[in-house]
Amino acid sequence: MSDQTLAFVASNAPEATQARQELDDKYGGTPPEEADVIVALGGDGFMLQTMHRYLNRQVPIYGMNQGTIGFLMNEYEADGLTERVAKAEQAVLHPLRMTALPISGGEYHALAINEVSLLRQSRQAAKIRISIDGRVRVPELICDGVLLATPAGSTAYNLSAHGPILPLNAGVLALTPISAFRPRRWRGALLPREAEVKLEILQQEKRPVSATADAFEVRNVSEVLIREARDIGIKVLFDPEHNLEERILNEQFTP
């Protein structure tokens, strides 16, 4: 549909704010709370912020790169935007739901579109017990940390930690250790998307660990539970020649 109303949101980068002004002047932007499609201008970090901010609106988000990497973004071009949006292909992303229990008590809940990561807070390595669906799989992982990544996030931090790239329709999540010392040969695992992952921190006071769901951090955690939020679907639009499935596949052949 070419008559969809568009809302333009931008990062604080000068090129992004300038692009937003250009598009507002050209198309007469609608407020994000009322638009049929939200157009995000910036880099991948801003795209993640936009997805989190408008999660409850459940409208498609079309990103245009005015940042650095732009893996989740389309190329910026002011002309013919309404036609591009109308022809765009939709990918539905399901975030991870994290429940983090700090040593001090209580619990925190957050969603992660890319990954949930646990990282050591001190000079000493973390010690983490990993359970999948109630069964202990790694009694003690000595490491800098560990992460659970979605397919959309598998090309981000997960890839830097030597984790696998996951096709969107693979139906799996990547559990990846970060600088593991013991077990030395364990390189992680592929888990079914329905799996519930429990990460228990051993020697919590001596070896403190933080938990992060995208940009939301909880420090000094004792336990973290993670599972995919199948009830939440985030709609992201991509130009047909650069759809997300193709980008993820192409990353596996990039030198």
Residue 146 tokens read as 């560990």
Q: Are residues 123 and 134 located together in one domain of the fold?
A: yes
Task: Clarify whether 231 is annotated catalytic.
Answer: no
Q: Which ranges of the chain would DSSP assign to H, the alpha helix?
A: 14-27, 44-53, 81-87, 157-160, 244-251
Asked whether residue 200 is domain-assigned, the answer is yes
Q: Are residues 22 and 84 located together in one domain of the fold?
A: yes
Q: Are residues 103 and 144 located together in one domain of the fold?
A: yes
Q: Which residue has the tokens 């250009």?
A: 22
Q: Which residue has the tokens 């001596």?
A: 206
Q: Are residues 211 and 182 located together in one domain of the fold?
A: yes
Asked whether residue 180 is domain-assigned, the answer is yes
What domain count does the chain have? Answer: 2
Q: Are residues 243 and 168 located together in one domain of the fold?
A: no
Asked whether residue 52 is domain-assigned, the answer is yes
Tens of each residue's pLDDT in the chain, 255 residues: 457 999 999 999 999 999 999 999 999 989 999 999 999 999 999 999 999 999 989 899 999 999 877 788 999 999 999 999 999 999 999 999 999 999 999 999 999 999 999 999 999 999 999 999 999 999 999 999 999 999 989 989 999 999 999 988 889 999 999 999 999 889 999 999 999 999 999 999 999 999 999 999 999 999 999 999 999 999 999 999 877 788 787 777 876
- In Å, what is the CA distance from 233 to each residue of 59, 96, 215? 10, 11, 19
Asked whether residue 24 is domain-assigned, the answer is yes
Q: Are residues 197 and 238 located together in one domain of the fold?
A: no
Q: Are residues 79 and 187 located together in one domain of the fold?
A: no
Q: Are residues 161 and 203 located together in one domain of the fold?
A: yes
Residue 2: the pLDDT is 56
CATH of the domain at 66: 3.40.50.10330
Asked whether residue 160 is domain-assigned, the answer is yes
> Among residues 124, 253, 118, 86, which one has the least CA distance to residue 198?
118
Asked whether residue 224 is domain-assigned, the answer is yes
Sort 140 into a burial class: Cβ within 10 Å, 0-12 / 13-18 / 19+: middle
d(CA 169, CA 23): 34
- Out of 44, 79, 133, 214, pick the active-site residue: 44
Residue 188 tokens read as 């992680």
d(CA 74, CA 38): 13
DSSP designation for 74: B
Q: Which residues pair with 86 in a beta bridge?
A: none
Q: Are residues 107 and 204 located together in one domain of the fold?
A: yes
Q: Are residues 118 and 162 located together in one domain of the fold?
A: yes
Asked whether residue 1 is domain-assigned, the answer is no
Q: Are residues 170 and 242 located together in one domain of the fold?
A: no
Long-range contacts formed by 239-247: CB under 8 A, 24+ apart: 239/74, 239/75, 239/84, 239/87, 239/88, 239/89, 240/87, 240/88, 240/89, 242/74, 242/75, 243/89, 243/91, 244/72, 244/91, 244/152, 244/168, 245/91, 245/167, 245/168, 245/169, 247/71, 247/155
Q: Are residues 120 and 142 located together in one domain of the fold?
A: yes
In the chain, the amino acid numbered 153 is G
How much is the pTM? 0.89
Residue 134 tokens read as 């109630």
Asked whether residue 177 is domain-assigned, the answer is yes
Range of the domain at 40: 6-93+233-251
CATH of the domain at 171: 2.60.200.30
